[in-house]
Chain A
Amino acid sequence: MTEMTLVQAVNRGLAEAMRQDPDVLILGEDVGVNGGVFRATEGLFKEFGAERVIDTPLSETGIVGAAIGMALYGLKPIAEIQFLDFIYPAFDQIVSELAKFRYRSGGQYPCHVVIRAPYGGGVKGGLYHSQSTEAYFAHTAGLKVAIPSTPADAKGLLLTAIHDADPVMFLEPKRIYRSVTGEVPEGDHRVPFGEVQVVREGTDVTLFAYGAMIPPSVEAANTLSEEGISAEVIDLRTLVPLDEKAVVASVEKTGRAVIVHEAARFCGFGAELAAILAERAFYSLKAPVARVTGFDTPFPYALENVYLPGTDRIVHAARATVRST
């Protein structure tokens, strides 16, 4: 075990996979000599060379399109998109091609690409370096979506993603790239997809969150505990596949749910979670499901802390949920 930041854990995960398997390679903008704008690929160019850490021209659709071709041929490409906000030129390649290759070929052409992209706000990035648009990808059949919140999960989920047989969107919470540190196991550490992490157990209300919303959710649970409210915090870890069993079981226990994400509320991932709870845990619910999310506005620059869910909004929603019954 070594103590490190989340972005260092991503780096260690990449290095581990590349040492294990010569078919694993990285391509993206500034990932080579520069080590990535967030330094996620630091040192990899030196260790693995230009043939496996490929600096590409500035073209997201080219990066993902080429990665698809590599994967069809049998390599295991990891494409880095510098910011999730810049992924849209590649959206056609991801949604129309990557997500559908296995299906549309009747299983003849599986297409395993991992797309890494830093997402989310809180870094003074304005409209185009802050968005949290995981729902677009979770909505698309054929893609898996993983979002770590700890260094150990960053490495463990990433290694699982790289060894998975299907395309994976690996979204990294850049706000906590360096502010969160933790022990990370050495070697081939893997965290399975489709299994939530119960970050903190509780009995009165469940806070569902992922990625950069875990720290404020845990802080909210601490505050609530001082008021005598026992909040369970569940880290979803993967939106697809979703550990629906654990989601439902937690609400069967607590009877209340607060869903936290920084993406806009309307048609955000929380809407699906709320629908699942309505379908499968309706008779356990003691209060309406609450959502604490970004607003239905574009992501603002100067007022980003108004937009982003903070501990106070989470506490307020949880309190209201508990006190309503």
Chain B
Amino acid sequence: MTSVPLVGVAGIEGTSELSPSALLEAYRWMVTARVADERCLSLQRQGRIGFYAPLAGQEAAQVGATLALRPEDWVFPAYRELAVALVRGVPLSEIFDQLVGNSRDRIKGRQMPNHFGFRAQNFVVASSPIGTQISHAVGSAMAAQKRRDPIVTIAFFGDGATSSNDFHAGLNLAGVFRTPTIFFCQNNQWAISLPRERQTRSATLAEKAKAYGFPGVVVDGTDLAEVYRSVGEARRRALAGEGPTLIEAQVYRLGPHSTSDDPRRYRSDAEVAEARLRDPLHRLKTEFLATGLLDETGDQKLWDSIRAEVARAIEESEQVPPLDPHTVFDDVFEVPTPRLEQERAEYDSVTPNGGSKP
């Protein structure tokens, strides 16, 4: 891949620093994400979840980046980061609790599927507006600097976000204050219907970093090891006080933008078929078969066991009782205002049985 100067990264060649067992673990996460993706698309079609934004094609980028982090680092996701959540240690069942929106959902059914957040895993809750999390990651990094905490923050976003206000605001601030921040851009080539070349005239997204005074690097986002190395190096730089790094992981969004999108309106099947040849899962599996780390039988067993695991998690989440309607008034403020209490009472007076209950 073309590489905009990034101190250190270009110099690292050769074998991955991921051990064989780590590679297998990474593959397991990637397969889990792919299976979850496939199931979620069909759950949405069946009306069992309301929405889904698939990540197929981006598994190696997400898993590789997240494996290079430490638990104490802070993650600021967009809404496509299911594999990031998995690698951070979020149980599958908690992810499905959110997708279903049941009473166990950590965010209490407040947002559409994929917009989850898990405080215990330092996985900050996502929102729908594009790019807003970028400056949050910078602010948290400034806070960590002030407290002398040896951690980094990482913002996940897509190619479309590089045109947003907060991309500019956030990267500019990060450059000025040399914050320990990693800007991890998954360039999946399509911002809904807008192709990458219409997003910016810049040759790469990574080169934008130069204008903010810090390095940007392009990596092959289907190459787990390359992603892992680049994020690891960016993390090292951040902790050494060398400031932020922008990483452009080039991937391809194999699926639709979301379940509300029909990508055949704007891109050809041939283009997608070509991209499928670089499917990060196939790529890693091919490596495994070549090195003997995994054989076809082992691979089949892995997929079967993960399919069963995902099915169990879905089944479990669908059994969890629905949310208590009264919780709609919670968490607006720490303590509800008299007005919110009054609205809750009004609601009760109209629906004494508690709304959605029969």
Contact = CB atoms under 8 A, between A and B. Distances in A.
Contacts of A141: 332
Given A89-B165, A240-B337, A65 B107 contact: no
Interface stretch (A3-11, A68-76, A123-131, A316-324): A68-76
B99 to A, nearest CB: 14
B333 A166 contact: yes
Interface in A68-119: 68-75, 77, 89, 92-93, 96-97, 100-110
B106 interface: yes
Contacts of B138: 62, 65-66, 69
A241 interface: yes
B248 to A, nearest CB: 21
Contacts of B129: 92, 96-97
A106 B332 contact: no
Interface string B163-206: 00110111011001000000000000000000000000000000
Interface stretch (B119-127, B256-264, B274-282): B119-127
Interface string A1-44: 00000000000000000000000010000000000000000000
A109 B132 CA distance: 16
Interface in A151-205: 165-166, 194
Contacts of B128: 96
Contacts of B334: 102, 110, 165-166
Contacts of B76: 69
Given A57-B172, A69-B143, A106 B106 contact: yes
A244 B339 contact: yes
Nearest to A60: B169
A57 B171 CA distance: 11
Sort chain A's interface into a size bin.
Answer: 35 or more
B135 interface: yes
A142 to B, nearest CB: 6
Contacts of B106: 105-106, 108
A101 B119 CA distance: 12
Contacts of A54: 142
Contacts of B173: 56-57, 59, 62, 66
B263 to A, nearest CB: 26
Interface residues of B, number: 49
A67 interface: yes
Contacts of A47: none
B110 A103 contact: yes
Interface string B129-169: 10010111111111110110000010000000000011011
A256 interface: no
A87 to B, nearest CB: 14
B111 interface: yes
A277 interface: no
Contacts of A70: 139-140, 142-143
A62 B127 CA distance: 17
Contact of A69 (B105, B117, B140, B331): B140
B338 interface: yes
A107 B332 CA distance: 9
A51 B144 CA distance: 12
B74 interface: yes
Interface string B301-334: 0000000000000000000000000000011111
Contacts of B143: 69-70, 73-75
A209 interface: no
A97 B146 contact: no
A92 B165 contact: yes
B172 A62 contact: yes
A108 B330 CA distance: 12
B343 to A, nearest CB: 11
Nearest to B136: A69
B229 interface: no
A75 B134 CA distance: 18
A242 interface: yes
Interface in B240-262: none
A241 B137 CA distance: 30
Contacts of B139: 65-73, 77
A284 interface: no
A100 B172 CA distance: 25
B158 to A, nearest CB: 17
A14 B216 CA distance: 39
A237 interface: no
3 residue pairs, one from A and one from B, having the closest CB atoms: A69-B139, A65-B135, A62-B169
Interface of A: 25, 51-52, 54, 56-57, 59, 61-62, 65-75, 77, 89, 92-93, 96-97, 100-110, 141-142, 144, 165-166, 194, 240-242, 244-245
Given A106-B117, A240-B337, 6 more contacts: A59-B168, A66-B138, A68-B139, A69-B136, A102-B333, A105-B331
14 contacts: A52-B146, A62-B172, A69-B135, A70-B140, A73-B143, A73-B144, A97-B127, A106-B105, A106-B107, A108-B107, A108-B117, A108-B125, A142-B333, A166-B333
Interface of B: 74, 76, 105-108, 110-111, 115, 117-119, 124-125, 127-129, 132, 134-144, 146-147, 153, 165-166, 168-170, 172-173, 176, 330-335, 337-339
